[in-house]
Structure 1
């Protein structure tokens, strides 16, 4: 009799738990959102969100005039490409004697170089004086110049940067940069 009673209780518990699970499943289905599948029309693709490219290629240095200044590459550059970054930064990438250079300018007080390297602790400078202005070129090398150099200067409200990732030293980078600076800054007024 104990065996039959134990079996009956076991069966009652199985049915009770089974019906609870069935009731819980039915309630979950009743509260779950109904998903309907509809075929998307083939003729209309979904709109894609595209991030605009902040770099706009331009034809030449004259295209920078709307920014309030003009910069130019070295006159003997092998290749040169011109662009405007975020509508405010003029950029020229050029090669000269198998070395690459990036020259930038913008009306700003912010760093525009785009160079995030560890510079050598003691920068060098070169002061240039023209009619009514003085410019100090600050030259910072990377690993003694083995990994390039960055030159920065300001004139009035325009900030300039000139960078090469190629090996260079003070003399080499100023030999490339000085003809550019003499062309782009108002030296022509006195030295034309």
Structure 2
């Protein structure tokens, strides 16, 4: 997997929460549960794409679980109006108290950049979802969307938290 396959050069930057210049930045942190059982449920929901499917968006992934190199196409809308957003997973993290991944945009995606979804069990037993992204419009339609694109991205991140809260509780 090389940076040339992606539509942006800073592949993997969300792993360390970098904020590359020239992009819009997003970081949303939401409480989604409490305790190890809810962490495990949330981690599985993120790693197996259930959080995204429950939003609901269509997720076509080349594997049932997130892993580097897995192709993911997110579909929003229905029928001929469905927006297809091709991505590839650039990194994953699965540890005792962390689980998550990031995908980077591929040609055909309306945006250019990267977005990560990480679940964390903190020292107090709270389970958090953090969505981190950097992006910029890659198509004329995305540029025309202007501030609505940013509003949509924030609403999408908040919806991820709401859905994951429900999935974490089982």
**Shared fold (TM-score, shorter chain, > 0.5):** no
Q: Report which of the two structures shows the higher radius of gyration computed on alpha carbons.
A: 1
TM-score (norm 2): 0.34
TM-score (norm 1): 0.31
